[in-house]
């Protein structure tokens, strides 16, 4: 990662973190949904993808036991967490709640 995870989540713009794995089928289903979310939100949301196999200490720190797991951060605070695939409108509803 170019910058530290802490620097990324300290943003005053909401940051949606997608903990995923290359071998995970549902993770592959979530990727295009997240792209649509980003297209809708534009600069009002950052999306960061974290490969749990390459970033195990970070996954352990946040107690990620299954993938995909999404977390929403703002100003360094975790505001929301959900495992599994959600549809675009469900994700947008959560993000807009904290934007």
98: which 2 tokens? 């904290």
Q: Name the catalytic one among 27, 37, 94, 95.
A: 27
47: which 2 tokens? 């999306």
54 is catalytic: no
CB 46 within 8 A of CB 13: yes
DSSP letters, 2-51, are -S-HHHHHT-SS-EEEEEE-TT-HHHHHHHHHHHHHHHHHGGG-EEEEEE
27 is catalytic: yes
Q: Name the catalytic one among 8, 10, 11, 24.
A: 24
Which active-site residues does the annotation give?
24, 27
């Amino acid at each position: 990662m170019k910058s530290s995870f802490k620097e990324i989540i300290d943003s005053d713009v909401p940051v949606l973190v997608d903990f995923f794995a290359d071998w995970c089928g549902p993770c592959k289903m979530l990727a295009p949904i997240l792209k649509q979310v980003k297209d809708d939100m534009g600069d009002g949301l950052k999306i960061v993808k974290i490969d749990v196999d390459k970033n195990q200490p970070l996954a352990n720190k946040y107690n990620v036991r299954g993938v995909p797991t999404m977390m929403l951060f703002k100003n360094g605070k975790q505001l929301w967490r959900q495992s599994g695939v959600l549809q675009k409108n469900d994700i947008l509803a959560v993000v807009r709640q904290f934007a």
